[in-house]
């Protein structure tokens, strides 16, 4: 698994063009993925929400748009240049003004035990230095009955796999290089995607970490998946 310091350095280097690259490389489908994610979060009627590996804040902003004001939203990330981008974007809309963007490492979250109803993390779990430790750390901060929503790359449907990996290995890094000026960052991205578990395997890892129920939903031929993992109610 990747080292935290190396991941931090990679994202610091592309922070200013991160959004452009995401929209370009996904063909704009990332907007759809966030819509689905935030609908699922809204359905569990959380009292508060934390978005981990928040990056430039797009999921945090979409949560506010979807669920409305009055529900606290906090975005945490361990890369300060990415947080700087999120804070700059926060000024674009009055309803975003109360969204907090703060430093937070998923290996050691600055949150109390049993303190959050809903946690989201989008395209961050594959960058965990220790996946099991990170998933357990999130479980610690969730309230009993609370839910973790993981939006992450997955292994595509078999028929689509040859097309997808041709794009991932041979096209994506060069397009990313044009968009960000840093091909190496997206060579790393392609490698982490290829090595990441399938929906079924990540479901088992979440259960191993201690989540009581896990449901996985594949999107766009399963190149990404949303896992909703619930913490057990206290008995």
The reply to whether 27 falls in a domain is yes
Q: Residue 92: what are its φ and ψ, rounded to 5°?
A: -80, -15
The reply to whether 120 falls in a domain is yes
**CA 17, CA 110: separation in Å to the nearest integer?**
28
Mean pLDDT of 131-136: 97
The reply to whether 62 falls in a domain is yes
**What pLDDT is recorded for position 17?**
67
Higher-pLDDT residue of 180 and 139 is 139
Residue 5 banded pLDDT, cuts 50, 70, 90: confident
Residues 219-230 have pLDDT tens digits of 999 999 999 999
The reply to whether 182 falls in a domain is no
Residue 213 sits in which domain range?
A: 4-158+198-230
The reply to whether 119 falls in a domain is yes
**CA 97, CA 69: separation in Å to the nearest integer?**
10
**What pLDDT is recorded for position 11?**
62
CA triple 33-35-41, angle to 5 deg: 105
Mean pLDDT of 45-74: 95
Q: Which CATH number does the domain housing residue 29 bear?
A: 3.40.50.150
> Is the predicted pLDDT of residue 64 greater than 80, yes or no?
yes
Q: How many domains does the chain have?
A: 1
Higher-pLDDT residue of 10 and 54 is 54
Write down the pTM of the prediction: 0.93
> Is the predicted pLDDT of residue 33 greater than 80, yes or no?
yes
Percent of the chain predicted with pLDDT > 70: 88
Residues 22-31 have pLDDT tens digits of 677 778 899 9
**CA 17, CA 180: separation in Å to the nearest integer?**
6
Residues 149-204 have pLDDT tens digits of 999 999 999 999 999 989 888 887 777 777 667 666 667 777 888 889 999 999 99
The reply to whether 41 falls in a domain is yes
Residues 108-131 have pLDDT tens digits of 999 999 999 999 999 999 999 999
**What pLDDT is recorded for position 18?**
66
**What pLDDT is recorded for position 76?**
98
The reply to whether 28 falls in a domain is yes
The reply to whether 33 falls in a domain is yes
**CA 228, CA 17: separation in Å to the nearest integer?**
30
């Amino acid at each position: 698994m990747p080292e935290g310091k190396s991941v931090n350095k990679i994202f610091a280097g592309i922070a200013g063009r991160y959004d452009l690259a995401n929209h370009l490389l996904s063909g704009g489908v990332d907007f759809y993925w966030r819509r689905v994610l935030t609908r699922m979060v809204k359905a569990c009627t959380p009292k508060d929400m934390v978005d981990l590996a928040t990056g430039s804040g797009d999921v945090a902003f979409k949560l506010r748009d979807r669920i409305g004001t009055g529900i606290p939203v906090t975005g945490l990330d361990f890369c300060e240049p990415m947080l700087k981008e999120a804070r700059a974007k926060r000024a674009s809309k009055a309803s975003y003004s109360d969204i907090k963007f703060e430093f937070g490492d998923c290996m050691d979250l600055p949150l109390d035990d049993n303190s959050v109803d809903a946690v989201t993390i989008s395209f961050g779990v594959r960058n965990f230095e220790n996946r099991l430790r990170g998933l357990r750390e999130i479980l610690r901060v969730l309230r009993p009955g609370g839910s973790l929503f993981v939006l992450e790359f997955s292994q595509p449907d078999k028929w689509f796999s040859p097309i997808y990996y041709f794009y991932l290995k041979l096209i994506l890094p060069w397009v990313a290089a044009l968009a960000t000026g840093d091909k190496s960052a997206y060579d790393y991205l392609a490698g982490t995607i290829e090595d990441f578990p399938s929906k079924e395997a990540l479901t088992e890892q979440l259960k191993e970490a201690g989540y009581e129920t896990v449901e996985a939903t594949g999107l766009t031929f399963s190149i990404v998946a949303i896992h909703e993992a619930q913490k057990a109610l206290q008995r």
